[in-house]
């Protein structure tokens, strides 16, 4: 079965870039890679997703390894409001989401 592995927590300084890694060595060819984040007392919020190519949006960038066995979420300039739990998720061709355990991102002022 596919699974995703993320570090439990990471710390970063405010206004510096943050690179959040995710390993998904058992990903299948049609699985999309999604990232969501969850702020305290909130539901998960969509951040970005991709299949093979790197992706950019107003929130973040997603770098996907050439073999697709890992990916990195990049926050270009972290702010205190980016402190959250970040989930790396594989989205299969049906409804199924394979959630990682999440990385708690701590931003230091």
CB atoms within 10 A of CB 45: 12
Least distance in Å: CB of 96 to another protein? 8
Kindly list the residues in this chain that would bind another protein in the complex (CB under 8 A). Answer: 31-32, 34, 36, 41-46, 49, 87, 91-97, 99-102
CB nearer to another protein: pick between 31 and 82:
31
Task: Put residue 4 in one of left, alpha, beta given phi > 0 → left and psi -120 to 50 → alpha.
Answer: beta
User: In the bound complex, what is the minimum distance in angstroms from residue 72's beta carbon to another protein?
Assistant: 19
Question: Nearer to another protein by C-beta: 12 or 103?
Answer: 103
d(CA 76, CA 51): 21
Report the alpha-carbon distance of residue 89 to residue 30 in Å, rounded: 13
Our CB check for another protein shows the closer of 63 and 92 to be 92
d(CA 74, CA 59) in angstroms, rounded, equals: 9
- Least CB distance to another protein at residue 78 (A): 22
């Amino acid at each position: 079965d596919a699974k995703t592995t993320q570090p439990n927590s990471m710390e970063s300084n405010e206004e510096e870039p943050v690179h959040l890694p995710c390993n998904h060595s058992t990903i299948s060819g049609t699985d999309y890679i999604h990232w969501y984040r969850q702020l305290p007392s909130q539901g998960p919020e969509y951040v970005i997703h991709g299949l093979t190519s790197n992706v950019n949006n107003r929130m973040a960038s997603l770098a996907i390894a050439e073999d697709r066995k890992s990916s990195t979420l990049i926050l270009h300039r972290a702010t205190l409001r980016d402190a959250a739990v970040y989930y790396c998720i594989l989205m299969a061709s049906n409804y199924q989401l394979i959630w990682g355990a999440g990385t708690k991102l701590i931003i230091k002022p």
